[in-house]
């Protein structure tokens, strides 16, 4: 959600670290796509293929780079940045709607005795907080959140509606958890004996370090023993499954519909793209990119591999060669049958 805020281009340029081509007193109040923009909108141009669309827009102000803008935009006021992605991020930040924080604990909330909830928190209606839990200052707990026993939540966190946080979970500072996510549910562990599935008790917990963001409808399971650990700076998309005893390394990114099986480890600064499947006890070292829909078997993926793709996951160059050959299999099969027939005819 964004907010219309009136500002001169001179003031805005200072905020986003860009240079103005002219008209520093021109007032803008919004950031828009070219099709919906008006004269007080700012539009973003990061690729030359959209120049015509921007030229046809009603917007007067365009955030772009000198390389893209040079001789291509007509009748526009240019906000020219040397770091276009950073300036665009600052532009979004400027127009982002931010609700003013006001501490308040709703009288419609159920807070058990023996809790330590800071008076400088905001706890909204119909939240349930169980015994032994502590929540530090400036944290927001939105409506219909369940927080179990002996949970620790740090400062400046935002827990959105319908999140469930099971017993013993530890959450650091500046953590965001989006709607309908479950933290600390039982790991998927069963013994198969005499045709029956016998549940293995899951007595560990989940530890989420500082500056982590977790998308909606994601599930992070508690450890069988010990902890499932999400290290600082990790960003997890919607609809992700993290199994018991997994460790995700610092500043790694996990995209939607990815599943990481039990006792696996993902290193620092890794990227797991959409629909990746990681088998149990796999170990992905630091700085590895795992391409979309890749299946990572129970092996060590070395940092030197840099990027893997396919099922099973292989280095990207090898995977591309296999894909190229697979696409030609019908022709190879036809040639094989022709050669086979030729050999048979000669042997007659």
Active-site residue list = 244
Nearest residue to 183 (alpha-carbon basis) of 125, 227, 136: 227
Q: CA angle, 280 as apex, 279 and 284 as ends, to 5°?
A: 70
Share of the chain residues as helix, strand and coil, in percent rounded to the nearest 5: 20, 30, 50
Cα–Cα distance, 52 to 44 (Å, whole number):
13
Cα-based torsion angle of the residue sequence 66, 71, 76, 81 in order, rounded to the nearest 10 degrees: 0
Find, among 206, 301, 218, the residue nearest to 256 by Cα.
Answer: 218
What's the CA angle centered on 216, arms 212 and 220, to 5 degrees? 65
What is the spatial distance between Cα 100 and Cα 110, in angstroms, rounded to a whole number?
24
């Amino acid at each position: 959600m964004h907010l219309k805020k009136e500002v001169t281009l001179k003031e805005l340029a200072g905020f986003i670290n860009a240079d103005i081509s002219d008209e520093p007193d021109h007032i803008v109040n919004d950031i828009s796509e070219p099709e919906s923009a008006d004269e007080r909108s700012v539009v973003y141009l990061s690729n030359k293929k959209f120049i015509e669309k921007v030229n046809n827009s009603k917007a007067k102000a365009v955030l772009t780079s000198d390389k893209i803008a040079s001789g291509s935009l007509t009748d526009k006021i240019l906000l020219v940045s040397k770091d276009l992605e950073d300036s665009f991020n600052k532009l979004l930040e400027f127009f982002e709607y931010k609700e003013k924080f006001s501490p308040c604990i709703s009288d419609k909330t159920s807070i058990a005795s023996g809790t330590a909830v800071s008076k400088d928190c905001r706890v909204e209606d119909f939240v349930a907080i169980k015994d032994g839990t502590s929540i530090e200052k400036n944290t927001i707990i939105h409506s219909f959140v369940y927080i179990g026993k002996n949970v620790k939540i740090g400062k400046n966190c935002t827990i959105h509606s319908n999140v469930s946080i099971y017993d013993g979970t530890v959450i650091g500072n500046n953590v965001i958890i989006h709607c309908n996510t479950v933290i600390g549910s039982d790991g998927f562990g069963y013994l198969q004996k005499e045709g029956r599935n016998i549940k293995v008790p899951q007595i560990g917990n989940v530890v989420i370090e500082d500056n982590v963001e977790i998308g909606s409808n994601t599930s992070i399971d508690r450890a069988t023993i010990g902890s499932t650990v999400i290290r600082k700076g990790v960003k997890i998309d919607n609809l992700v499954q993290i199994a018991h005893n997994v460790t995700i390394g610092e500043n790694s990114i996990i995209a939607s519909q990815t599943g990481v099986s039990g006792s696996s480890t993902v290193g620092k600064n890794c990227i797991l793209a959409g629909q990746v499947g990681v088998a149990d006890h796999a170990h992905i070292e630091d700085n590895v990119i795992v391409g979309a829909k890749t299946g990572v078997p129970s092996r060590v993926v070395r940092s030197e591999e840099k990027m893997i793709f396919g099922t099973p996951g292989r280095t990207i160059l090898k995977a591309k060669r296999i894909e190229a050959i697979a696409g030609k299999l019908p022709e190879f099969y036809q040639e094989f049958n022709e050669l086979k027939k030729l050999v048979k005819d000669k042997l007659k």
